[in-house]
């Protein structure tokens, strides 16, 4: 789809000319919505194992990809008409606003600040933030032990603020372009810890279990939303309906088991409480 232009009918245009009404008046015509799309470009992460990871053939797979395909299907768009494209934590809002993507399903927490630019369907999952350290580093047993230590976050993410501002813990924040770059830095001794959503950390840990240790001290609710063009309330409502069905049909459990069944991570399998489409 990828068109953010508002559509009004020819009749409405005529009315605008005659009556001098503003063209954006909602009474004149229905606003363009993703519910009418016949194809979708969906932004996902490409470097987060278990969530959105691009392989050597260019295929992107993971929990977020499965969720996105399920929702697209419920909006009447088949997998063949879905194009996935990579987004980072830093460019999710921009890509939605610019119309480079129609939808973002990318470990994207719903926050009050983001809600001023993006309409969020969901959440489709509520993750918890946690901490990953090097396996041999036994000194860090909880998030409070991060006081004074260097903690990496992917640029544009809200994870460091959850510790520094949310919990008042004085960390030394380091930013890398992505969480995979943070994990490399942790492995190489560049930082003391990576703290972000437990699903993200579990995915990286599963790839290299001997290198890292999961602190297992969950805090915060990270409500994973489906990012939609600002104001597309019809799409938001349709997405929420799709998410409800995804849980009712057991698909959410199936996707979680597929991607995180062997990680030992405790998974939430009940439908999350929706935020509301405003």
Strand-pairing partners, residue 60, are: 54
Least spacing, CB of residue 78 vs ligand GLU, in Å: 27
Least spacing, CB of residue 183 vs ligand GLU, in Å: 13
> What would the x/- binding string for ligand GLU be over residues 190 to 209, using CB under 6 A?
------xx--x---------
Site residues (CB under 6 A) for ligand GLU, limited to 100-139: 107-109
**Which position among 52, 121, 154, 229 is part of the footprint of ligand GLU (CB under 6 A)?**
154
In whole angstroms, what is the distance from residue 265 CA to residue 252 CA? 15
Q: Is 157 in the site for ligand GLU (CB under 6 A)?
A: yes
In whole angstroms, what is the distance from residue 217 CA to residue 270 CA? 21
Neighbour count for residue 113 (Cβ, 10 Å):
10
Least spacing, CB of residue 61 vs ligand GLU, in Å: 17
Site residues (CB under 6 A) for ligand GLU, limited to 218-277: 222
C-alpha distance from residue 247 to each of 99, 104, 184, 193 (Å): 29, 20, 35, 34
Query: What are the phi and psi torsion angles at 168 (to 5°)?
Result: 65, 30
Q: Is 176 in the site for ligand GLU (CB under 6 A)?
A: no
- Closest by CA to 53, choosing from 221, 179, 223, 228, is 179
Least spacing, CB of residue 11 vs ligand GLU, in Å: 42
Q: Which residues bind ligand GLU (CB under 6 A)?
A: 89, 107-109, 154, 157-159, 196-197, 200, 222
């Amino acid at each position: 789809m990828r068109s953010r232009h508002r559509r009004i009918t020819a009749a409405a245009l005529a009315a605008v000319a005659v009556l001098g009404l503003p063209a954006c008046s909602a009474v004149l015509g229905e606003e363009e919505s993703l519910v009418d799309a016949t194809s979708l470009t969906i932004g996902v992460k490409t470097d987060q194992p278990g969530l959105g990871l691009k392989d050597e053939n260019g295929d992107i797979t993971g929990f977020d990809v499965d969720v996105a395909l399920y929702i697209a299907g419920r909006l009447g768009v088949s997998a063949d008409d879905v194009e996935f494209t990579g987004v980072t934590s830093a460019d999710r809002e921009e890509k939605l606003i610019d119309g480079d993507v129609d939808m973002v399903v990318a470990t994207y927490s719903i926050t009050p600040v983001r809600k001023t630019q993006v309409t969020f369907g969901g959440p489709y999952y509520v993750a918890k933030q946690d901490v990953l350290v090097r396996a041999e580093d036994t000194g860090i047993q909880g998030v409070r032990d991060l006081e004074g230590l260097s903690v990496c976050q992917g640029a544009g993410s809200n994870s460091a603020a959850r510790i520094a501002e949310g919990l008042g813990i004085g960390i030394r924040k380091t930013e890398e372009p992505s969480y995979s770059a943070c994990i490399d830095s942790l492995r190489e001794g560049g930082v003391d810890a990576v703290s972000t959503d437990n699903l993200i950390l579990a995915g990286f840990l599963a790839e290299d279990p001997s290198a890292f240790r999961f602190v297992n001290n969950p805090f915060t609710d990270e409500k994973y939303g489906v990012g939609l063009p600002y104001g597309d309330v019809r799409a938001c409502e349709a997405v929420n309906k799709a998410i409800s069905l995804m849980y009712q049909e057991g698909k959410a459990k199936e996707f979680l088991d597929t991607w995180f069944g062997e990680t030992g991570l405790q998974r939430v399998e009940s439908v999350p409480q929706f935020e509301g489409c405003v």
